[in-house]
Chain A
Amino acid sequence: MHEMSLCESILQVLEQQAEVQRYRKVKTVWLEIGALAGVEIEALRFSFDMVVLGSLAEHARLEIIEIPGQAWCLPCGCNVDVQQLYDVCPHCGSHQLQVNKGDHMRIKELEVE
């Protein structure tokens, strides 16, 4: 369950940024999670609530912005939408696809006080 360590990384960023950006509490966290990032959103929510207990982000709300997957199809020479890493190109059926979007996870912004 690497969602747990992802949440620990998120908390570290929140704590680090608290000094730089001068806030005491985090009320809401917006995350961008790519559809191909290998993250189980439910597990992430569950882990988040546990990891932030007793921290500056206790009770913070997690808002998840799902980023759809996209890949470059070599034969077609264009970007196509993909839902899974094993998808084939919807136009030509090739799996010569290079993922170029939706494989990242980012903290986008925070609501703080």
Chain B
Amino acid sequence: MCGICGCGEGHSHDHEHEHSHEHGPAHSHAPGLNPKRMVQIEQDILAKNNRYAATNRHYFEERGILALNLVSSPGSGKTTLLTETIARLKEEVAITVIEGDQQTARDAERIRATGVPALQINTGKGCHLDAHRVGHALESLQPKHQSVLFIENVGNLVCPSAFDLGEAHKVVILSVTEGEDKPLKYPDMFHAADLMILNKTDLLPYLDFDSEACIQFAKQVNPRIKVLSLSAKTGEGMEQWLRWLKAELELQRIAYA
């Protein structure tokens, strides 16, 4: 910072640009004299979203709710995985779902057809859900204590990675038809996720998909990531996913009790 007047001159980024901040000969821009001045802000651009996310997280913790944020590119099978999961779990566990899509309520309708409450959020041009909208969805959904809340994000392997919704985990779903290099091509999402689900394994015989390489790539981006492989269509591998879910729910419930 400029040692004389505190105007902010002297940063590493100074004055290659024609920064119009007039250091006149008299150096006279003391507050109130020259209308142009520097203001320090030092604020995270995501601060507002992060505040709402913290509120949501607190809400979940107070109620022992396991909230999962499901992210993937369009069509990798998020809604199919959810309907299949709900069919197997709903007798044991209370479940609610928030569906994020740019348009239509089709996914929320698919979920409601399984008999659990679902709320659709249409983001319009928005490419991701944000914590503020999820907070409002909670007000109307009122998920039960000790239940599971699935949040299906907008199909997009890039943008939702930056927006914390207050979830316990981001779960990234990658279908084997998308190619094993996706963790490297879209590293932000795989970095942000705690679990990767390789879906549509029933199609493996028809593809050159290299599962080993895919898992290797995912771990390269995120050494802590866990991996499950399954087919939401045939049910192969669903058992491990259900066990993972129940274990995570149990952790939330222990913290709540």
Contacts and interface: CB of A to CB of B under 8 A. Distances in A.
Nearest to A3: B159
Nearest to A30: B13
Nearest to A66: B13
B223 A96 contact: yes
B17 A38 contact: no
Contact of A31 (B35, B45, B183, B184): B45
Interface in A53-95: 61, 63, 65, 84-86, 88, 95
A21 B39 contact: yes
Contact of B223 (A4, A17, A97, A105): A97
Interface string B96-121: 00000000000000000000000000
A101 interface: no
Contact of B127 (A1, A38, A99): A1
Bin the interface of chain A by size. Answer: 35 or more
B19 interface: yes
Interface string A1-24: 110111001101100010001010
B41 A108 contact: yes
B36 A113 contact: yes
Contacts of A6: 45-46, 162
B162 A95 contact: no
B63 interface: no
Interface stretch (B85-93, B213-221, B243-251): B213-221
A107 interface: yes
Bin the interface of chain B by size. Answer: 35 or more
B21 A106 contact: no
A95 B223 contact: yes
B112 to A, nearest CB: 28
B187 interface: yes
A12 B48 contact: yes
A9 B38 contact: no
B38 A113 contact: no
Interface in B22-39: 35-39
B220 A38 contact: no
B38 A110 contact: yes
Nearest to B156: A2
A6 B43 CA distance: 13
Residue in A10, A61, A96, A106 with the greatest tally of chain B CB atoms within 10 Å:
A106
Contacts of A37: 162
Given A28-B21, A111-B36, A106 B159 contact: no
Interface string A37-53: 11000000000000000
A36 to B, nearest CB: 8
9 contacts: A2-B159, A5-B128, A5-B130, A9-B49, A65-B12, A106-B43, A107-B42, A109-B39, A112-B38
4 closest A-B pairs by CB: A2-B159, A85-B187, A38-B188, A113-B35
